[in-house]
Amino acid sequence: MKKIFLLTILIFGIISCSSGQKANEKECFYVINVLGAELYEKPSLDSKVIRKIKVGEKIIAKEILKTDQSKKIGDDFYLGGSFIKIQSESIKGFVFSSDLTKIKPLLREVQKSIIIPDIDGKEKSKRIEKRIEKFDNKEYEIEDEITEFENVTYTYTAFNGCFDHIYVYKNLTLNEVYHQLTVNSVVINETKDGNFIEIPRFTEKKGNEYLFEGEGATQDLKIIVNKDGTFTISSYDCT
């Protein structure tokens, strides 16, 4: 179930930009990769990495360059994109757009120095729906807690010590949904050297499903590409 943490806003670049496509307008992007986005010296994934731009930071595109390159997540799973050219007084280089979104995220500090981006949008409604399911020839009443946001519908179901989590995303790309999977399933590894994020490991693609290995109690973690253009992230965990 979603938890609300301290909200922290980070801004990178200047304010005067637009999400429009007019030639005299600048396009804004925000980093949604929880591990940050690489800033490349040249528009190539093989180029030297100058540094990483932190999650949540805003960048302004001076130019958008198309490319056939894609970022590999695992076998049969690649994130496509373009190279965003950045040039300001303090920084210049190229960022691959698979790590970016045009949706301004809410940034939540889940632990000291650990920030996660939320692009669900504003909460629109919340309700409980009841249904009857049969298990071992017995009928049980199941309650689904459904929360509607601008960009996602989240359904939480608790039954017999297990908890189902289903997120149905609309208005988002596969790239954005993948990064929300890492947010929804974030695991913090605490060490003497600090806290580090561990993201789910992609295992295989089966038809329209991308399967991942969850951490801890998380099971059956996957992204489903739906026929109507939406995406579903689903998983469950049991105590």
Is the CA virtual torsion 75, 76, 79, 80 positive or negative? Answer: positive
More confident residue, 109 or 6: 109
Please choose, from the candidates 229, 181, 228, the residue with its C-alpha nearest in 3D space to the C-alpha of residue 202: 181
Share above pLDDT 90 across residues of the chain, in percent, rounded to a whole number: 69
Binned at pLDDT 50, 70 and 90, residue 232 comes out as very high
pLDDT-derived band at 191 (thresholds 50, 70, 90) equals low
Matching residue, tokens 């040039």: 87
State how far the alpha carbon of 188 is from the alpha carbons of 80, 114, 212, 232, in Å.
Answer: 28, 8, 17, 24
Q: Say what percent of the chain tops pLDDT 70.
A: 87
Q: Distance between CA atoms of 174 and 178, rounded to whole angstroms? A: 6
Residue 126 three-state SS: strand
User: Using CA atoms, how far apart are residues 31 and 55, in angstroms rounded to an integer?
Assistant: 5
Distance between the two ends of the chain, CA-based, in angstroms?
A: 14
User: Model confidence over 44-75: pLDDT tens digits?
Assistant: 999 999 999 999 999 999 999 999 999 999 99
CATH superfamily of 6-118: SH3 Domains (2.30.30.40)
pLDDT(236) > 60:
yes
* H or E segment and range at residue 70: strand 63-74
pLDDT score, position 184 = 85
pLDDT 10s digits, 132-175: 988 888 999 999 999 999 999 999 999 989 999 999 999 999 99
Average predicted confidence (pLDDT) for the chain: 87
Domain positions in the chain:
6-118, 123-238
pTM of the model: 0.85
Count CA atoms closer than 13 A to 219's CA, side-chain side: 8
Per-residue pLDDT tens for 87-129?
Answer: 877 789 999 999 999 999 999 888 777 889 999 999 999 999 9
Reported residue count of the chain is 239
Nearest CA-CA partner of 123 in 150, 105, 146, 103: 150
Higher-confidence residue: 16 or 77? Answer: 77
